[in-house]
Structure 1
Amino acid sequence: MSPLQQAGDFLVTTLFDLYTFILILRFILQYLRVNYYNPFTQFVVKATGSLVVPVRRFIPGWRGIDFATLLVILSVTLLKLTLVTLIRYKTTPFLPGLLIWSIGDILKLTVNIYFFSILIQVFASWVPALSHSPMLEIIQQLTYPIIKPFKKIIPLIGGIDITPIPVILLLQLINILFTNSIIMIGIQIALLR
C-alpha cells in the first residue's frame, strides 16, 4: 500500500472502530441496565443517539435487546469494511464475505471492550483516588458478569484477587482462536470477486 492508502486505512479503521466501540458499549450497558444517569453512560447515549434513536422508531427492542443499536453497529461496520476493502484492495467486497467479516469484527471489538475494561479495573484498584470514579462504577457493572464465575472458583491468594488474569487470558484466546478465524474467513470470501 502507498503511504496515502495507509493513512486512509488508518483513519477509516480508527474512527469507525472508536464509534463502533461506543455503539457496542451502548448495547451492553443497556442490556445490563446500568445506571442511566451516570455521566459515562450519558456520554455513550448522547454520542450514539443521533444514529440509534431514528432507527429505534422503526425497529423496537424486545426483552432487553436493543435491535436498533445492533442494526446500527452492523451497518457502521459494513460501511467501515467496505471502505477498508476499497482502500486496501481497490475492489468492492462480496456481500456474504463482508457480512461474515463484519460479524467477526464486531465480536473482536466486543471482546476488546471486556479486555480493556478489566485492565482498567485492575489498574484503578491500585489507585485509591479512582475508586469513586463514575466510569469505574460502570466498568465494574460491565465486567462483573464475566468475572463472577471465576471468583467462585479461584480463591484470594494472600489477600490478592487474581481472577482478572485467567479472564484476560481467556478473552485473548477467544480473539486468537475464534474471532480472528471468522475475520479471515470473511476476508477470503469478501475478496472472491
Structure 2
Amino acid sequence: MLSILQFIVDIIAGLLGGVLLLRFWTNAIRVRLPDQIRQFVHTITDWLVMPLRRVVPGTKGYDWASLIGAFLVVLVASTLLLLQGGSGEMVLLYALHRFLNWILYGFMALLIIEAIFSWVNPNAPLAPFVHALNQPVLRPIRRVVPPIGGIDLSVLVALVLIQILLFVLRQVFGF
C-alpha cells in the first residue's frame, strides 16, 4: 500500500512540477506557448504561481514564482515520501536532487520529442514550439559539433551530456 501511495504522490508532483518548469522555461527564453497548451499550463499552475508572484515577482523575463513553485512541489513530495520511510533530515538534499533530475529529464523528453518530430513529421503543429524550447540547449552544441554528412548530431550529443550530468548527480548526492 505504501508503494502505491508513493507512486501516486510522485506522479502528481512530477506532472505539476514539470508543468511549472515548462512555464518558467517558456518565459525565460521568451517562447509563446500555443493557446491550448497555455490555457492548460495556466489552469494547472495559477493557484500556486499567482500567490507566489506577490512574494517573488518576476525580474528580467524570469518567472521566479514558477521555478520556486516547482521546487516547493518537489519539497512537499519529498517530505511526504521520506516521512513514510526515510530520514527526515535529508529532505532538503533529496528534494534538490529530485528537482535537478526533473530539469534534466524534462530536457531529455523535449530532445527526444524533437528527434521524433524530425523523423516522423517535421511539419507537426507542435514541432516549431518544441524546436524553440530546445534551441538554447542545442545552439552551443551545434557550434562545436557541425552536421556530419548532412545529419545533425547535436540532439544525440545533448542526450549524452544530460546522461553524464545525471550520473554526476547520482555520484554527488548518493541517491
TM-score normalised per structure 2: 0.90
Match status 1:44 vs 2:28: no
2:16 touches 2:70 (CA, 8 Å); kept in 1? no
What percent of counterpart residues are identical? Answer: 26
1:31 touches 1:65 (CA, 8 Å); kept in 2? yes
Equivalent residue for 1:124?
A: 117
The one-letter amino acid of 1:116's match is A
Match status 1:81 vs 2:73: no
Equivalent residue for 2:154?
A: 163
- Find 2:17's aligned residue among 16, 20, 28: 20
- Between the two proteins, the alignment pairs up a number of residues equal to 175
Q: Alpha-carbon deviation of 1:37?
A: 4.9
Q: Alpha-carbon deviation of 1:14?
A: 1.3
1:59 touches 1:68 (CA, 8 Å); kept in 2? yes
Distance 1:21 1:183, change over 3 A: farther
The one-letter amino acid of 2:108's match is F
The one-letter amino acid of 1:114's match is F
Equivalent residue for 2:104?
A: 111
Structure 1 segments (4+ residues) deviating >4 Å: none
2:33 touches 2:129 (CA, 8 Å); kept in 1? no
Equivalent residue for 2:92?
A: 99
Output one character per residue of 1:54-101: Cα deviation in whole Å (capped at 9) or x when no partner. Answer: 221232112222222222122211110011012233x6x12xx32222
Give the structure with higher Rg (CA).
1
Q: Distance in 1 between matches of 2:53 and 2:74?
A: 18
Larger deviation, residues 109-118 vs 158-167: 158-167
2:110 touches 2:134 (CA, 8 Å); kept in 1? yes
DSSP 3-state at the match of 1:160: coil
Q: Distance in 1 between matches of 2:104 and 2:83?
A: 26
The one-letter amino acid of 2:81's match is V
DSSP 3-state at the match of 1:64: coil
Q: Distance in 1 between matches of 2:109 and 2:64?
A: 25
Q: Alpha-carbon deviation of 1:183?
A: 4.0
Q: Alpha-carbon deviation of 1:182?
A: 4.7
1:118 touches 1:143 (CA, 8 Å); kept in 2? yes
Q: Alpha-carbon deviation of 1:165?
A: 0.9
Structure 1: gaps spanning 5 or more residues: 188-193
Q: Distance in 1 between matches of 2:76 and 2:19?
A: 16
Q: Alpha-carbon deviation of 1:151?
A: 1.3
TM-score normalised per structure 1: 0.82
2:82 touches 2:91 (CA, 8 Å); kept in 1? no
1:9 touches 1:88 (CA, 8 Å); kept in 2? no
Q: Alpha-carbon deviation of 1:166?
A: 1.0
Q: Distance in 2 between matches of 1:8 and 1:77?
A: 15
Equivalent residue for 2:67?
A: 70
DSSP 3-state at the match of 1:159: coil
Q: Alpha-carbon deviation of 1:36?
A: 4.3
- Find 2:164's aligned residue among 170, 173, 177: 173
